[in-house]
Amino acid sequence: MSLSASSDGIKAISHTDPPPSSSPPSTHHPSTLAIHADDQLNRSTDVSPALHVSTTFRYARDPNDLVPAKDQKTPHPPDAHIYSRETAPTSTRLETLLTPLLHAPCVTYSSGLAALHALYVFLRPARVSIGQGYHGSHGVLALQTKLTGCRVLALDCAADDLGPGDVVHLETPVNPTGEAFCIKAFAEKAHARGAYLLVDATFGPPGLQDPLEWGADVVMHAGTKYLGGHSDLLCGVLASRRDGWVQGLRGERTYLGSVMGSLEGWLGVRSLRTLEVRVQRQSGSCGRLVSWLHGMLEGAGGGEMVREAVERVRHASLQAEDMEWLRQQMPNGYGPVFAIMMKNEGLARRLPSKLELFQHATSLGGVESLIEWRAMSDAKIDTRILRISVGLEHWEDLRDDLSRGFRALIEEENTANATSNPPAPP
């Protein structure tokens, strides 16, 4: 072990093997950066990222090197840590990896909603224009309203209803349907009034869309979903190129206290290494399943059971009238979540129990495919809606699982109808 001095005098502990001298060039592809953008923070000879769990870090041994808090420059260098409520090695590594993937400096939080809350504390908007989307985000806004009197407007409010410093909160693709909104159009609307555009891009992770390219001022991800990708960590991320925003958010995070735990940060670093392949595969499989189901609804052979059970399938790939901007904003494929509107509530309630591969659970973005009768977690949703998160199983196995499920459901329905309405005696 050796001690190395950092520019503001805080000493970082390092192992004997020197880290690579610089980050890989930003001209590398995202899949390369997801594995190497943190090379300069690798202080050990480990190939796979090391896990640091310490909450506190030793100061310099030489008293002459001690720099008291009032003289320290912020931000600290990324490998100089004092106390893990400010920064810690693994979550810093996660942020270092996310920066080139999100094309902006970023800051991580203990959950997606913690990130959202931190952003609203930072911006203190007088008004927020927001659509239906994830119900939990409305819970955060209710807290903000309680604290600041902030008003909540509809997403399609008139532009004149917005003013400087207000926020347009756009979730795209949107929970639970996976349908998308035009980011550019909402950026123009917000900016025309001096308002900011926040895009919750949880359903369209890096590789599928880049909201900053289309005018978003800040992007939020519930990293719990695709960034984590294995249903085993909670994480939130905010990324912004606006002057001072990320630095300001990071400063306030110290007092909100909503940092990621070191174990979760480590799981995140592990997960980002496979982000691109996971998301591309999930998006491709989702597109195939949606197209198969939609084809059945449109009259394809063998689709009688689907037509008896399903009213409508919803997903960005079915937004025929929006394809011009959609192909520009999501050039590599659409989000891996879609929704099925069943013919009635009873069918929606019972389909998940007929499936073997799709697990009946909330959340999304993991390697395991999930289905959720949305009424289980969203008190205001149409009770006929099922949300499907496509995982990494082969799409044909998922298709066959759904097919068998629809058949079992309709057979059960027919048997129940026959029992309750026995044929009239001759």
Ligand X SMILES: Cc1ncc(COP(=O)(O)O)c(C=O)c1O
Q: Which residues form the interface with ligand X (CB under 6 A)? A: 111-113, 134, 136-137, 171, 175, 200, 202, 222, 224, 234, 236
Residue 295, token pair as written in the block: 């084809």
Residue 411 Cα distances to 339, 345, 401, 405, 419, angstroms: 23, 17, 15, 10, 12
Task: Name the residue nearer to ligand X (CB basis): 105 or 236.
Answer: 236
Instruction: Pick between residue 9 and residue 265 the one whose CB is nearest to ligand X.
Output: 265
Phi then psi for residue 128, to 5 deg, are -130, 125
Q: How far is the CB of 271 from ligand X (least distance, A)?
A: 14
Tokens 């329905």, residue located = 413
Q: State which residue, 291 or 377, has the beta carbon closest to ligand X.
A: 377
What residue is closest to ligand X based on CB?
112
Contact 193, 167 (CB under 8 A): no
Which residue lies nearer to ligand X by CB, 232 or 412? 232
Whole-number Å distance between alpha carbons of 138 and 140: 5
Q: Which is nearer to ligand X, 136 or 165 (CB)?
A: 136
**Shortest Cβ 230–ligand X spacing (Å):** 14
Query: CB of residue 119 vs ligand X: minimum separation in angstroms?
Result: 12
Helix, coil or strand: residue 402: helix
Measure the CA dihedral 368/373/416/310, to 10°.
-90
DSSP structure class, residue 343 = S
Query: Please, what is the minimum distance in Å from the beta carbon of residue 118 to ligand X?
Result: 12
Nearest approach, Cβ of 135 to ligand X (angstroms)?
Answer: 9
CB of 364 to ligand X, least distance (A): 7
Cβ atoms of 24 and 36 closer than 8 Å: yes
Beta carbons of 389 and 315 less than 8 angstroms apart: no
- Answer for the pair 377, 176: CB distance below 8 angstroms, yes or no: no
| Shortest spacing between CB 112 and ligand X, in angstroms | 2
Length of the chain (residues) = 426
Strands (E), 187-331: 196-200, 218-222, 236-239, 310-314
C-alpha 18/C-alpha 108 separation (Å) is 27
Q: Please, what is the minimum distance in Å from the beta carbon of residue 213 to ligand X?
A: 20
Nearest residue (CB) to ligand X, 198 versus 289: 198
User: Among 222, 248, 239, which Cα is nearest to 106's?
Assistant: 239
- Identify which of residues 10 and 212 has a Cβ nearer to ligand X in the complex: 212
Which lies closer to ligand X via its Cβ, residue 180 or residue 310?
A: 180
